[in-house]
Structure 1
């Protein structure tokens, strides 16, 4: 156990995978680092990776990707994206400066400019982003097991949308309970900032059978109605997931109210 700026972090060897490590922040599983950077342990990270792969192939130049990660942990997704797109530039925004120092010490993470870790609050730093300065923004911010309200509001989504290039992609990892209230509120808010939205989750999660993760997608470009390759990747995952298009997603959050910075 190691003290950090916001609490403590535990580094635990993975008893099922040689050379791999689990990272727990304040008692909550946060990251997993395998020897192979392309080996993502958490299913939601693999779903994010599949969505990015599809979107980049369709809309972005893989040689000039500017990717911002709001929430870093041990930088598993950023490490994966550097391995997948070696010319990409990944900036990880991590609140806990000591955690950022420790993961650099423990793991052979790519160096800047491929992977830069910036210490600070995700919302505060997002507010300083220049317009059209990012191609992909990934929000994976948690305080314990909850995403802070500051990165879940309409105002935040508008900030992210402005920072993205016109052909950019916003991706959020939404942790939710079985009632799916958080996902509905976030999607309602995202619809105020992005012309097009979609989501990814396991079938059982979408049916409200348990708590878990829903991946939320937003873009000013139309998102696919029936993406065959993405569907294939998601269904082939160790934890199969479904891509839900815009029509389904808008019906899903009908009647839900978005969150605002000062109107909650």
Structure 2
């Protein structure tokens, strides 16, 4: 591993490094990583157009299958700008609270688009007109995981108002496939605001292992074929409680 930058922002300790191995694959890769060793973005230096991370490929698959003609996307959590960079012909608006992440993505990952707004994603989304976005992608993390104010009933209701007809909210979360109180609560809370929800787990070695969990919610039926999702499988989460803005400390 060759470290290119190590920065401490107001929100994160961020490391950018090159490596010859990523998730068991040999090659030339560049990664942006937080202090908890979680990779927030990565590129293949031999093929920069390639989408490296499985969960990102799964989200792109779901987007293109369920609304192929989509045009407008709101993303909370910039990373290295993978989703926006992948689509040159779509209109993205990306909310990122940490300005240092955007700076590093431009310096080390060739991010060249001018579509990032610095600030809290929930607040920025709330300022959008209703029925604006075909997709809202939530891919934001801090040291404790997904910020809880992006998982409440009030947030989900507001987000649903910003979606165009047949639009969907897609979330990248980190959790366990069973007996995860937070995952159960997020899913139960989502179902109060959307008619249809689907949950998919990325592969892991055991049920207790923390892994990427993709949650999609819409007021239109959700199409998918797990055979096209590279080992992801559908989860049937248990019932949880409703997460509310008035209970911000319930998972501490």
How does the TM-score come out when normalised to structure 1? 0.81
- 1:23 and 2:32 are equivalent in the alignment: yes
- RMSD over equivalenced CA pairs, Å: 2.1
CA 1:187/1:213 → structure 2, altered by over 3 Å: closer, same or farther? Answer: same
State the 1:212 CA deviation: 1.1
Counterparts of 2:109 and 2:208 in 1: how far apart (Å)? 36
Q: Larger % of strand: which? A: 2
Are 1:198 and 1:218, in contact at CA under 8 Å, matched by a contact in 2?
A: yes
State the 1:19 CA deviation: 4.4
Are 2:75 and 2:137, in contact at CA under 8 Å, matched by a contact in 1?
A: yes
Partner of 1:20, secondary structure, is: strand
How does the TM-score come out when normalised to structure 2? 0.85
Partner of 2:18: 13
Aligned partner (choices 22, 40, 46) of residue 57 of structure 2:
46
What pairs with 1:235-254 in structure 2 (closer than 5 Å)?
Answer: 237=230, 240-243=231-234, 249=236, 252-254=237-239
Counterparts of 1:10 and 1:198 in 2: how far apart (Å)? 33
What pairs with 1:98-177 in structure 2 (closer than 5 Å)?
Answer: 98-112=100-114, 116-177=115-176
- 1:2 and 2:12 are equivalent in the alignment: no
Partner of 2:20, secondary structure, is: coil
Are 1:40 and 1:76, in contact at CA under 8 Å, matched by a contact in 2?
A: yes
Post-superposition Cα deviations, 1:192-230, rounded to whole Å, max 9, x if no partner, equal 11111111114658x834221211010011223xx4xx3
Partner of 2:66: 55
Aligned length: 236
Partner of 2:74: 68
Q: Larger % of helix: which? A: 1
State the 1:110 CA deviation: 4.1
